[in-house]
């Protein structure tokens, strides 16, 4: 495992995100919707840095199961999400990889008629994008590596790391345990 972003770099990136979001939403209340499970660390740190009236909700979306690194069909559960009609919504996710998850979530949330909808991600792999949608706020662009830490996992491990690391290919294949 190789560290890509130290804990300090991550903190600085989240602070930049919070500053950009605060400037864009000054004088407005915001509904932040975190995408479970990967965004929980980012979501917790981000909302503590925002000096805005806000509500927080969650949506569960996943297209990977177990040790798989191959995307499957997207499954969405919005039971923990507040009413968003006529509200400014910020969808927060851990990583923008191919973009399919964020694209589908924005489409589904848009059907609920928010006043506006934007997205924020900790990490973006620009070279992997397969959709025209781009996140509105990005803390870091990273290379096309399988990353863990700061909420991101591999087979439900490594979410608790305070930094972002890239797993070696043999670790992703299950050989490096």
Looking at the annotation, which residues are catalytic?
97
Q: How many CA atoms lie within 13 A of 143 on its CB side?
A: 8
What is the DSSP secondary structure assignment for residue 81, as one 8-state letter? P
How far apart are alpha carbons 15 and 88 in whole angstroms? 21
Longest dimension (CA), the chain: 52
Q: Cβ(14)–Cβ(42) under 8 Å?
A: yes
The CA angle 43-110-152, to the nearest 5 degrees, is 30
């Amino acid at each position: 495992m190789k560290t890509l972003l130290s804990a300090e770099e991550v903190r600085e990136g989240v602070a930049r995100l919070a500053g950009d979001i605060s400037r864009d939403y000054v004088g407005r209340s915001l509904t932040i919707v975190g995408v479970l499970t990967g965004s929980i660390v980012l979501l917790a740190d981000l909302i503590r840095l925002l000096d805005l009236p806000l509500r927080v909700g969650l949506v569960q979306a996943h297209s990977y199961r177990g040790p798989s690194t191959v995307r499957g069909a997207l499954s969405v559960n919005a039971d923990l999400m507040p009413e968003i009609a006529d509200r400014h919504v910020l969808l927060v996710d851990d990583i923008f990889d191919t973009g399919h998850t964020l694209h589908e979530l924005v489409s589904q949330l848009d059907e609920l008629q928010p006043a506006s909808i934007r997205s924020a991600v900790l990490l973006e792999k620009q070279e992997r994008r397969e959709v025209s949608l781009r996140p509105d706020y990005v803390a870091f662009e990273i290379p096309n590596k399988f990353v863990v830490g700061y909420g991101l996992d591999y087979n439900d491990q490594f979410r608790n790391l305070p930094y972002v690391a890239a797993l070696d290919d043999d670790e992703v294949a299950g050989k490096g345990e």
